[in-house]
A and B are shown apart, each in its own frame.
Chain A
Amino acid sequence: MDFALTAEQKEFQRTVREFAERELKPGASRRDETGEFPAAIVPKLAEMGLMGMVFPLEYGGGGRDFVSYAVAVEELARVDAAVTITILAHTLCAGHIFAFGSDEQKRMYLTPLARGEKLGAWALTEPGAGSDAAAIRTQAVADDGGWRLTGNKFFISNGSRADTLVVMAVTAPPGGKRGISAFIVPADVPGLTKGKNLDKLGFRASDTVALTFKEVPVPGANLIGEANRGFAQAMEILNGGRIGVAAMALGIGRACLEESIAYGKRREAFGHPIADFEAIRWMLADMATELDAARLLVHRAARLKDSGERFVREAAMAKLFASEAATRAALKAVQIHGGYGYTRAFPVERYLREAKLCEIGEGTSEVQRMVIAKELLKT
């Protein structure tokens, strides 16, 4: 497998990096402090073409491959992970409609999402069903050719800001067996209540909320694919999503390394820049090595996805390793920065808080290990 980026991918990377430096960097730390949603940033992401990178041009997307997506996510997360996760959650929603929706649904819902005119959210997790996603209890009851949704969703990124939701709910067609189905739900339907942004350790500017559905009417035309296929659909969407989270972790990790190198050269102790000391050098070397390994895993998974091959194990490995490598890098970055690293005067404490989420969101490290082992033991 050739891991070199094409000239086009490199140009794309440079463009995204410049955009991130110019548009995201100035406010990232402040948004973390205030927890304000980057509402003014989203139209800029849309104009730049970052809300629909991987979707075909005919649906208003950027027609890019998944490797480019991973590259872009890394560049964005290196500067502002909260903005990045907004794109990731949006992409789960749009990606679900793209992968399993009808032509009509794609025209009506995917196109405005891919253009970034509308914001998407993807609602699977519930207060009592995280890793055990099959245990969700939100019900979709057939009603006069359509459905009525009742239940609670939790930790939904973009949940209160989104225009379009993809919602997984339990369907039990009369006489049929219990299954899970996926629905497109416009956010302005009656009966849908959105909670406040949760008070989180990191990603404070990302919108993460509870959603409550009370007899929410959903037209029959908004069922994605067949009834009772929603769980399999969701698992497939999460496979791709893991590459996104892995790339995001990688971006956070790289920010840790870059800050640490800069600080190590600048900060003096005992008459030397601290980067002269072996203890610091070893930390930098370990960070760089682990992040490079993580990048190879991320790009391998993305390349498999681009070539249409199965990538379940590879995506889980990338997510597992990149997120844990990012947390290790962030811990080292804080350590290298010493007392200053523990203050808000330097960004590394934010990176630490952000890195940790990557080990939890879209499948915990434990779930990734389960997925990897299951793939290994398959006959």
Chain B
Amino acid sequence: MKILVCIKQVPDMESRFKPNGSGVWFEETDLAFRMNEYDEYAVEQAVRLKEQLGDAHEVTVLSIGPDRVVEAIKKALAMGCDRGVHVQDPAASLKDPWQIAAIIAAYARDKGFDLIFTGMQSQDRGSAQVGVTVAEDLGLPCTTTLVGFAYDNGTITAKRELEGGVKGVVRVKTPALVTCQLGLNVPRYPTLPNIMKAKKKEIEAIPVGDLLREEARTATASFHPPAKKGGGIVLEGEVGALVDQLVGILKDKTAVLR
């Protein structure tokens, strides 16, 4: 079985984000980068599947971006992926989800992957489009927001999380693509011995120009922090009237009493 995991490197979400000069993305200097959280679930699940199936099966991890994304690829290799693919693109943040999906699909098209794992969405852009678009591009069935995964003899049984905590179960035959959600698993930490071993694993570098043939279909017009909120409201008057006023506000302006 050939497995592909697609990962993105994103800034640490506790960072302070500032719009960059062009105002369509954030300033990257001084940010610490890490693997997108949802992609960690994808890597973990792919590695667990390999462990279930045995060493003859191979997990490839792919990431698109500038040189720094090699760090995320190395982490995935230390977690247990077998080989890495770095699609070199210093301007990945300017690509729209359509283009990113097209790059992945172009790489994967003739490789015969039986299963592709992606995160549900990225923590920075959050479009949640890349996984499903890759599936569409490759003509693969796809199921999303996995919180449970089982594989047996060519069939995936996927537990999905729906709105309001409702769960659904989907069965899909490979080849297929799945996107992973929080709750699917607890990603392992790369141990120091495994980090050492990962250094010997191959990372293939492919210039983005070799894979991308698509123009962007959407353009980010603006990236900005929300407007600063005004000060709080101070209610004054009789207690009874205050309670009515407060309940009214909580009903109208918040979800607390709905």
Of B46-54, B83-91, B188-196, B215-223, the stretch lying at the interface with chain A is: B188-196
Shortest beta-carbon distance from B66 to chain A in Å? 16
Taking a contact as CB atoms under 8 Å apart, the answer to whether A48 and B189 are in contact is yes
What residues on B are CB-neighbors of A22 within 8 Å?
189
B189 & A50 in contact (Cβ 8 Å cutoff): no
Give B55-110 interface residues, CB cut-off 8 Å to A: 71, 74
Kindly provide the distance from the CB of B24 to the nearest chain A CB, expressed in whole angstroms.
Answer: 30
Structural contact, B189 and A49, CB atoms closer than 8 A: no
Write the nearest CB–CB distance from A117 to chain B, whole angstroms.
13
Cβ-Cβ contact count across A and B, 8 Å cutoff = 28
Binary B-proximity of A32-63 (CB < 8 A = 1, otherwise 0):
00000000000000011110010001000011
Contact (Cβ within 8 A) A19 B193: no
Partner of A50 from B190, B192, B195, B196 at Cβ < 8 Å: B192
A231 in the interface, Cβ–Cβ < 8 Å? Answer: no
**How many residues from B make CB contacts under 8 Å with A?**
9
Nearest-neighbour CB distance to chain B for A7, whole angstroms, equals 9
* CA–CA, A244 and B133, complex, Å: 52
Instruction: Name the B residues within 8 Å of A48 (CB-CB).
Output: 189, 191-192
A18 to B190, CA, bound (A): 10
Contacts of A132 in B (CB 8 A): none
| Chain A residues with a Cβ closer than 8 Å to the other chain, count | 16
Asked if A375 is an interface residue, CB under 8 A from chain B, the answer is no
Question: In the bound complex, do residue A53 and residue B195 qualify as a contact, i.e. CB atoms below 8 Å apart?
Answer: no
Chain B residue nearest in CB terms to A72: B192
Residue in B71, B74, B189, B196 whose CB lies within 8 Å of A19: B189
Assembly CA distance A15 to B74 (angstroms): 12
Within 8 Å of chain B (Cβ to Cβ): is A306? no
8 Å CB interface, A92-136 against B: none
State whether B192 touches A53 (Cβ < 8 A): yes
A119 to B: closest C-beta gap in Å: 18
Task: Tell me the smallest distance from the CB of A50 to a CB of chain B, in Å.
Answer: 7
CB distance from B56 to the nearest CB of A (A): 25
B190/A15 in contact, CB under 8 A = yes
Q: Could you tell me if A63 and B196 are in contact, using CB atoms closer than 8 angstroms?
A: yes
Across the two chains, which residue of chain B brings its CB closest to A115? B193
Closest residue on chain B to residue A48 by CB atoms: B191
* Residue contact A49 to B190, C-beta cutoff 8 Å: no
23 example contacts (A-B, Cβ-Cβ < 8 A) are as follows A11-B74, A11-B195, A12-B192, A12-B195, A15-B189, A15-B190, A15-B192, A15-B195, A16-B192, A18-B189, A19-B189, A22-B189, A48-B191, A49-B191, A49-B192, A49-B193, A50-B192, A53-B192, A57-B196, A62-B192, A62-B193, A63-B196, A64-B192
10 new A-B pairs (CB below 8 Å) besides A15-B190, A18-B189, A53-B192?
A11-B74, A12-B192, A12-B195, A15-B189, A16-B192, A47-B191, A57-B196, A62-B192, A62-B193, A62-B196
Which residues of A pack against B, CB within 8 Å?
11-12, 15-16, 18-19, 22, 47-50, 53, 57, 62-64
**Residues of B that sit less than 8 Å from A by CB:** 71, 74, 189-193, 195-196
The 10 closest A-B pairs by CB, nearest first: A49-B192, A49-B193, A48-B191, A49-B191, A62-B192, A47-B191, A48-B192, A19-B189, A15-B195, A62-B193
